[in-house]
Structure 1
Amino acid sequence: MWYQQEIHLPELARGFHLVTDQVARALPCLEDCSMGMLHLQLMHTSASLTLNENSDPDVRHDLDAFIRRLVPEGLDYFRHTLEGPDDMPAHVAASLLGTQVTLAVRDGRMALGTWQGLWLGEHREQGGPRRILATLNGCEAR
């Protein structure tokens, strides 16, 4: 089976947000898949999609603090500044963390490790709503 759907996420504050449950709820077709692959592609260049710790929100805080320090606003060598001081740092952060994740699907669910969760990294102060293109390929449950 092949299935493709666009998932719409509301505007979120700058930082990292656990979106595992939102993505799963948007894809009821997962329940019909006994084994497969789910590819998630964020359709933006100033946000990221990644897997990491899903239990302690301090991890999301700490990664955001690290990224802001690694790629601060106001670097004088950035030329792309017309869209605001947070735009070019957001593009760099998105490139470093990535905008795509491919996950195994097992028994109707994303096959995540015990502590893994899917995060959206919002790297702009006002990034707006975000879209994820989900493509599922797998075997239907019998």
Structure 2
Amino acid sequence: MKTFQTLLKITTPKRGTYSITDKIEQCVKESGIQSGLCHVFCQHTSASLIITENADPTVREDIEYWMQKTILDGDPAYRHNYEGDDDMSGHIRSMITQSSQTLPVSNNRLNLGTWQGIFLYEHRTGRFERRLVVTTQGA
């Protein structure tokens, strides 16, 4: 079994979803692994990883609408607000989504469904540099 690991840095200009499928696909290609698994881990507590539809951006807009409606920025009941109104809401958003994703690798490519894409989901409203650890294992 072979293992390949790399660190990706992604700059997020504001809250939202950012397609990282191509960047993860490039890591898999560089690994040379034909068959195995690719694990992506987000090293942050206010950003996350989601797999969702990659064709229609209104899907991601609707997800964000639901998040904003459900998890309020600046809720006066939050005690943790050291970095602003989006601080605690960012942590809650990250907690109910995923900090990591594991994907199958076949023929030196991610084996995603036709309409699936991998997105870094920035939960804060400011600009951040996010770090992702990408580990590919297999034959």
Global fold match (TM > 0.5):
yes
Alignment of 1:20-31 (within 5 A): 20-30=21-31
Give the alignment's TM-score, normalised by structure 1: 0.92
Task: Could you tell me which runs of 5 or more consecutive residues in structure 1 were left unpaired when the two chains were aligned.
Answer: none
Asked if 1:36 corresponds to 2:36, the answer is yes
Instruction: Output the aligned Cα RMSD.
Output: 1.2
Q: Secondary structure at the match of 2:78?
A: coil
* 1:45 equivalent in structure 2: 45
Query: How far apart, CA to CA, are the structure 2 residues paired with 1:29 and 1:43?
Result: 22
In the alignment, what sits opposite 1:138? Answer: 138
- The Cα offsets for residues 37-56 of structure 1, whole Å up to 9 and x where unpaired, read as 11100011001101000000
Q: What percentage of residue pairs aligned between the two structures are identical?
A: 34
For structure 2, list consecutive stretches of 5 or more residues without a partner in the other structure.
none
Alignment of 1:1-142 (within 5 A): 1-30=2-31, 32-139=32-139
**TM-score (structure 2 length as normaliser):** 0.94
Residue 18 of structure 1 and its aligned partner are, at CA, apart by 1.6
Question: Distance in 2 between the 1:101 and 1:72 partners?
Answer: 26
Q: Over residues 23-77 of structure 1, what are the superposed CA-to-partner deviations in whole Å (9 max), with x where a residue is unaligned?
A: 22344324x2111011100011001101000000111111111111110112121
119-128 or 91-100, larger mean C-alpha shift? 119-128
Runs of at least 4 residues off by over 6 Å? none
**Alpha-carbon distance between aligned partners in 1 of 2:113 and 2:28, rounded to the nearest angstrom:** 19
Q: How many residues align?
A: 138
Distance 2:3 2:24 in 1: 17
Residues 11 and 127 of structure 2 are in contact (CA less than 8 Å); yes or no, is this contact kept in structure 1?
no
